[in-house]
Amino acid sequence: MKRLLVPLIVVAALASPAQSLAATTVTVQIEASGFKAKNVTINQGDTVRWINVDKVNHQIVANKGAFASGILKPGQVYTFTFTTAGGYAYHDALHPSLTGAVYAKGPPPSIAIGVTAPIITYGEQTIVSGTVSSGKPNEQVLVLAQPYGSSAQQIAALMTAAGGAYSFTVSPTILTSYSVRWKTATSQTVTVQVRPHVTLTRTSSTRLFAKIAATPSFAGRTIYLQRRSKFGQWVTVEKLKLGPNSGRIFTAPHVKGTTTYRVYMTTNQAGTGYLDSGSNSVRVRYRR
């Protein structure tokens, strides 16, 4: 019995997360004429090392207070590690005309995605959720869905909550892949597979009604009546053809005593975009 082979991704990060770069140290010389280099660009987590190569004292101070050295005598060194991305203008507190800047680059935007239930029954819901790498609220996230046999379309525009988290409830009616976009980042996809909703009810003591629900009609397709053996296994006892409304009324086999039945639809009969599915169980009793 073949199943629809679709890879399941329950929790996934954006594409391939950026590999963390080894931290480096950049040296800036403090000269009589100014800082060399005056402007430096580094990665978040890197360190800048200022060395006083002048013959007089100097003092490094960030304009907005992010860092400050003591007074650096000739030959002395001050270092600072930039753990937060951003631009840092600074000056020499002893010689204010000497200015410089450090630009610390952060990692590229990324967005994580996951789904609470990768397999559902037709009519059920599941939740697509994740976080944006900034960890900030009020960031717009676009949710895209691609049902089997269709192109991807935007289905929602969300705003992140605290910590950059987002979530969206979906109710796919057929195999559907979901992805999200934030700024320049697009996530990987998560796939939700769908089983047809199969029910079995009793219309009389021995008459049963099987019904299959999903987007397409299952008229003319086959389901299997199965009984539960004393070992707990489901054993097929009859093949049934569905009517024009994807249902079938039939009489349970005449077996003395109480028998537990269900109906089952294979993946092949469910068709592309659906998994196999079994119904609830029903007990039938023949007294003689």
Q: Tell me the whole-structure pTM to 2 decimals.
A: 0.73
Q: What is the CATH number of the domain that holds 214?
A: 2.60.40.730
Q: Which two tokens stand for residue 216?
A: 């397409």
Locate tokens 């329950």: which residue?
Answer: 10
Look at strands 39-43 and 99-105 and give their pairing: parallel
Tens of pLDDT along 191-243?
Answer: 999 999 999 999 999 999 999 999 999 999 999 999 999 999 999 999 999 99
Domain annotation covers residue 160 = yes
Q: Which domain holds residue 130?
A: 109-194
Tens of pLDDT along 2-40?
Answer: 333 333 333 333 333 334 457 899 999 999 999 999 999
How many whole angstroms from its chain centre is CA 129? Answer: 6
Instruction: Name the domain boundary from 160, 194, 228.
Output: 194
pLDDT given at position 21? 55
Locate tokens 């007074």: which residue?
Answer: 71
- Sign of the CA dihedral running 231, 233, 234, 237: negative
Instruction: Name the domain boundary from 105, 126, 143.
Output: 105
Domains held by the chain: number: 3
Tens of pLDDT along 127-186?
Answer: 999 999 999 999 999 999 999 999 999 999 999 999 999 999 999 999 999 999 999 999
190 and 263 in a single domain? The answer is: no
Domain annotation covers residue 262 = yes
| Residue 107 pLDDT level (bands cut at 50, 70, 90) | confident
Closest by CA position to 217, among listed 196, 192, 239, 238:
196
Indicate the length of the chain as a whole number: 288
Instruction: Name the domain boundary from 161, 194, 227.
Output: 194
Domain annotation covers residue 211 = yes
Domain annotation covers residue 20 = no
265 and 219 in a single domain? The answer is: yes
Given a cut of 80, is residue 64 above it in pLDDT? yes
Q: What is the CATH number of the domain that holds 40?
A: 2.60.40.420
Mean pLDDT for all residues in the chain: 92
CA–CA distance, 141 with 163 (Å, rounded to integer) = 14
Task: Give the Cβ contact number of residue 252 at 10 Å.
Answer: 22
CA–CA distance, 70 with 93 (Å, rounded to integer) = 10
188 and 207 in a single domain? The answer is: no
Residue 270 preceded by cis peptide, ω within 30: no
273 and 222 in a single domain? The answer is: yes
Higher pLDDT, 5 or 50: 50
Q: What amino acid occupies position 277?
A: S
| Residue 46 pLDDT level (bands cut at 50, 70, 90) | very high
41 and 80 in a single domain? The answer is: yes
